[in-house]
Chains A and B, each alone.
Chain A
Amino acid sequence: MDFEFNYQAVAVISTLVALVAILELIRRRRIQDVLWLPWLLVAIAPAVVGLWIAPWAKLAQWLGIAYEPLILLVGASLLSFAMLLYLSVVVSTLIRRNLKLAQELAVLRHKVENLESPQESE
């Protein structure tokens, strides 16, 4: 019982610490809204696992995992993979838009230079 209480307490405390940290970063506008939801989901993951361990144990048995706690490691790995994949998509979008902006800036600068010195361009 004590053991169960301990890991559940750790799970809840971990979630609370992560939630406070993430909410504070959101409050300070250090995390953009497009990333709020994924990080909040990651933050509550320890509590979800810690407070409802039975379904995870059953899932481990169903998957044939002999050492049940290993399911947590598998879950954490999958969650990390999903998060990294999502971040890669976000970064790729930013790279693409950054290039598009650079292209537009180059063309605009060219146009402004021509407007500023028409005698040179003729």
Chain B
Amino acid sequence: MIPALDEADNIGRVVTELSALPEAPDVLVIDDGSSDDTREVASRMGASVVSMPFNCGIGASVQVGVWMALAGGYEVVARFDGDGQHDPRQLERLRAHLDDDTADFVLASRYLEKSGFQSTFMRRLGSRWFAVLLRAVSGLKITDPTSGCWVANRKAAEVLFEEYSSDYPEVDSLVHLGKSGCRIREISVDFRARAGGRSSIEGLHVLYYMLKVTIALIIGRVRPTGAPNDGDPGWISSSTIKQSPSSARSSR
């Protein structure tokens, strides 16, 4: 799945690269209320596209992708960013750890071996802060907790579907996964520089991001598992999704 907001400049390349893999996965783009041609470009490149009715935040978009994967009966779900930072050729490496059952959730890290694109100093510093905090509150040793590239099996996907922050969800979702007994593994992956467009975390957003994630990490440790019950989403069972061939292909 590729959550995307205003990524018309990059999304085509990401979809094309994923589709060109030897074992091409089904590609689902979740358009989070883009004001550009993200939806059209992704669709033209052969991806299945789900459009959020308005900008709901990256977490809500990822949750839709996870939801469709679970409902479609898929055993593995992967997340790639729409800005082209993640090399789709790494998908098989990430997935290998799920296949040999040594992990439930595999996270791509740009800092484990410090190779490839390393981001700015301030971002590395922020990531380091979250890594230290994550280890303190949950005991997880993660070098790149803000990474948006991962693969998950059904066990981890069900945890993410149950609870996933609507904005800046990456770090506190690791706490939730850890608390739920999921085995988390991190492997070194070379990231690439953003091909075009702008990051959503700039200017004052950085301050909000740091504060929000720090508080969410600490609260997440003492929070009971399970989101408030807002009704049963069971209407979209695997049978209803499977009636649609394109839906089933889209997230496997």
Point out residues on A near B: beta carbons under 8 Å: 93, 96-97, 99-100, 102-107, 109-111, 114-115, 118, 120-122
Q: In the complex, A40 Cα to B57 Cα: how many Å?
A: 36
Point out residues on B near A: beta carbons under 8 Å: 30, 48-54, 56-57, 60, 63-64, 67-68, 166, 227-228, 230-231, 233, 236, 240-241, 244-247
DSSP majority for the B interface?
mixed
Q: Top 8 A-B pairs ranked by shortest CB distance?
A: A121-B246, A114-B244, A110-B50, A106-B52, A99-B60, A103-B64, A102-B56, A114-B246
15 contacts between A and B (CB under 8 A): A96-B227, A99-B166, A102-B52, A102-B60, A103-B56, A103-B60, A106-B53, A107-B67, A109-B53, A110-B48, A110-B51, A110-B247, A114-B244, A120-B246, A122-B246
DSSP majority for the A interface?
helix
Q: A114-B245, A121-B244 are in contact. List 14 more A-B contacts (CB 8 A).
A: A96-B227, A96-B228, A99-B60, A102-B54, A103-B56, A103-B63, A103-B64, A104-B233, A106-B51, A109-B50, A114-B246, A114-B247, A122-B245, A122-B246
Q: Which chain B residue lies CB-closest to A97?
A: B230
Number of A-B contacts (CB under 8 A): 64
The answer to whether A105 touches B230, judged by C-beta atoms less than 8 angstroms apart, is no
By a CB distance below 8 angstroms, the chain B residues around A107 are: 50, 64, 67-68, 236
